[in-house]
Structure formats: C-alpha cells, structure tokens
Amino acid sequence: MEIILLLVLAYLIGSLPSALWIGKLFYKTDIREHGSGNMGATNTFRVLGKKAGIAVTVFDILKGTAAVLLAFSPYFANTPIHPLVVGVVAVIGHMFPVFAKFKGGKAVATSGGVLLGYSWPIFVLVVLTFLLALKITKMVSLTSMVVAVMGAIYGIIYYFITGDIYLELVIVLMGAFIFYRHRANIARIKAGTEPKVKWL
Ligand code: G3P
C-alpha cells in the first residue's frame, strides 16, 4: 500500500507543470505556444526571460529531489522500493504530466534533481559539466545530451567508489529518456537550425 502511495505522490510531484503554471500565472503566456513549445526551463528562459527561467529550473530540479527525499523520509523509509526508482517516477511525471494533458518536458532538470536527492557530489559534477558544455556548444539541447553521456561515466566511477550500482543504472535510464525526448532537437542540430543561447 505504501509503495503505491509513494509512487503516486512521486508521479504527482513530477507532474507539476511549473513552466506552464508560471507562464500562465505571471506572464499570461502559454509556454506551449511559443519558442520550441517545450514546457521546460530552456524554453522558459527563451520566451519569458531570466527570472522565470531560473524559477522553472529550480522548481523542476526540486521535483526530482523531493521525490527521492520523500522515499528516504521516516514515513517511507521501510517501504521496499529503491529511492532512485521513486525519483525516476517523478521524471516520468515530468515528461507525461497528468496536469498538462500528458505532454511535458524533456527530463533534464528533474533528472538532475534526482541526482541531487541521492548524491549531491554527483549533482555538483553534473552541473559543472553542464556549464562547461554549454559554454562550448551554446546549445542547451546538445549540452543536455553531452551531460547524459558524461553522467553515465560519473555513475561508473561512483560504482567503483561506493559499490552502489543503482545510481549508474538510473543515470543510464534517465539519459535514455533525455535522448528520446530530444529527437526534434537532434534533427535540428543535424540541420544546423538548433537555436543557440545568446547570453553566453
Ligand atoms: O531541457 C530541454 C532542453 O535541452 C531543450 O529545450 O526548448 O530548446 O527544445 P528546447
């Protein structure tokens, strides 16, 4: 019973469509009708500016973190399910949100939040990699995929240090989600039409 409650809560947390709600509430804008149409932090930066972009980034990261921490919380601590699986369910909620017709984001920020909830050093490493890759590529989409690959390498290192293989397995799974959700971006990158960030 507790497993089901935990998974439903994780899915609902992940489903919270921050980009859609912040856009509608504070900017009278439906983010889905502008820019790439994606309900994520990048498109929020693009369409609504820095303030909204930062708010969505933080919110979407915290969704993944909250789900993992919920699984670690005293109430659910004895529930026989790995906290990272609970985090993955939040990422699924982010991609297929019940509050937005099951059309959500591309899994990047919420996956990062899962890492933050489970191993903050890996999260810090991933954020630093993200900033460096973004400086070089100037494309958030390409950066996200580079980070997905690098994350898998960090996961292997984490395994050799801690003996815990779950993080690596989940990083590979979330990385696969990220690649799958960036299909349109991959086509644009190949065509040379993917937008670049201007503020770097
Ligand atoms: O996190 C999503 C980002 O990698 C790409 O977003 O709006 O450029 O498709 P967008």
Concatenated DSSP letters of 106-119: -SHHHHHHHHHHH-
Nearest CA to ligand 1 atom 4: 141
CA distance 92 to 64: 10
Position 105 pLDDT exceeds 90:
yes
Distance 184 CA to ligand 1 centre (A): 10
ipTM, interface predicted TM-score of the complex: 0.96
Distance 143 CA to ligand 1 centre (A): 10
Q: Assign residue 192 a region: left if phi > 0, alpha if psi is -120 to 50, beta otherwise?
A: left
**DSSP designation for 158:** H
* Residue pLDDT, tens place only, 112-136: 999 999 999 999 999 999 999 999 9
Q: Given ligand 1 and candidates 60, 106, 127, which is best to mutate, with the most ligand atoms within 8 Å of its CB?
A: 106
Spatial contact of 147 and 176, defined as CB atoms under 8 Å apart: no
Please report which confidence band the pLDDT of residue 1 belongs to, taking 50, 70 and 90 as the band edges: confident
Spatial contact of 100 and 20, defined as CB atoms under 8 Å apart: yes
Position 199 pLDDT exceeds 90:
no
Nearest CA to ligand 1 atom 7: 43
18 Cβ inside 6 Å of ligand 1: no
CA distance 17 to 15: 6
* Residue pLDDT, tens place only, 141-185: 999 999 999 999 999 999 999 999 999 999 999 999 999 999 999
Spatial contact of 69 and 84, defined as CB atoms under 8 Å apart: no
143 Cβ inside 6 Å of ligand 1: no
pLDDT in the model for residue 125: 98
144 Cβ inside 6 Å of ligand 1: yes
Please report which confidence band the pLDDT of residue 198 belongs to, taking 50, 70 and 90 as the band edges: confident
| Span of 26-35, 62-71, 106-115, 191-200 with lowest mean pLDDT | 191-200
Average pLDDT over residues 87-99: 98
| Span of 8-12, 86-90, 155-159, 196-200 with lowest mean pLDDT | 196-200
The stretches of 138-192 forming alpha helices (DSSP H) are: 140-162, 166-181, 183-191
Position 200 pLDDT exceeds 70:
no
Q: Does pTM top 0.90 for this prediction? A: yes
Spatial contact of 118 and 83, defined as CB atoms under 8 Å apart: yes
Distance 142 CA to ligand 1 centre (A): 9
112 Cβ inside 6 Å of ligand 1: no
Spatial contact of 105 and 19, defined as CB atoms under 8 Å apart: yes
Q: Assign residue 57 a region: left if phi > 0, alpha if psi is -120 to 50, beta otherwise?
A: alpha
Distance 138 CA to ligand 1 centre (A): 12
- Residue scoring higher pLDDT (165 or 199): 165
